[in-house]
Amino acid sequence: MPELLTPLSANRAAGGWQHRFAHRSAVLDCDMKFAVYLPPQATAHHKVPVLYWLSGLTCTEENFIQKAGAQRMAAQLGLAIVCPDTSPRGDDVANDPGYDLGQGAGFYLNATQAPWAAHYRMHDYVVHELPALVEAELPILPVRGIAGHSMGGHGALTLALRNPGRYQSISAFAPICHPSATPWGQKAFRAYLGDHPDAWREWDASLLLAQARDPVPTLVDQGDADEFLARELQPEALENAARSAGYPLTLRRHAGYDHSYYFIASLIDEHLQHHARALIK
């Protein structure tokens, strides 16, 4: 394996390989782990497009690869999947007793406030450092989609909207759509970005989408039995912003589904096919 990556595990899956690696992140100033599924089409002589998956609060790089059941369809499509951790980690990295702030809750932004600013630059890590690493060291093309769940859905939407042209497809399960107006988002934004709401606007998917000028095919699925729906997720804000901007958003609501990985596993094949239509020519 490449010298910049320390192999942690490798498992045969659906004809390809499910890997986990560790590496030193200069952007986050700590050691990081990530998972990558390489489909059977990925070889030393053939690179494949990639989907970046961003997980939600309390998760690591392992939740999606163990629970979503994505490997079989990714293998059929010839699509790699890269899953970063949800925050910087380590004894020297700032943390908080709450599950919704600190380690496990990086919110995919660049913190500006102490003590978080020293390590919490997940936007730059996911958008720049990690892709440069995997595209240089693994058989992965710079042809990218991005997806995520809950906090990771917020991350997928905001990272794509903030970086026009970098991602060719977007999807999300139960994303935090309007974090400036929700308890989870307000707590994270106040800690990481400061008290002034103007600093929050550039990290709010609904506010960014209302001004978007780079239409990217976007699929969002939301369960109507999700316990966080009304208080934390607010998909109607994203839907209204897309309507006013003429943005190509497909937002589907599903009866009886909650916030769990059962929901993700039920629809992940459709999300992978959504990305493949944009990424695989």
CA gyration radius, the chain: 17
Look at residue 45 and give its three-state secondary structure: coil
CA distance 245 to 74: 32
- Residue type for position 208: L
Is 45 one of the catalytic residues? no
Is 150 one of the catalytic residues? yes
Catalytic residue among 123, 226, 271, 274: 226
Catalytic residue among 178, 259, 271, 275: 259
Is the CB of residue 70 less than 8 Å from the CB of residue 120? Answer: no
Catalytic residue among 25, 55, 87, 150: 150
Sign of CA dihedral 199, 205, 211, 217: positive
DSSP structure string for 213-250? -S---EEEEEETT-TTIIIII-HHHHHHHHHHHT--EE
Please choose, from the candidates 29, 28, 81, 31, the residue with its C-alpha nearest in 3D space to the C-alpha of residue 54. Answer: 81
Q: Could you give the C-alpha distances from 95 to 20, 119, 194, 196, 246, in angstroms and in order?
A: 24, 11, 17, 22, 40
Is 87 one of the catalytic residues? no
Catalytic positions, written as ranges: 150, 226, 259
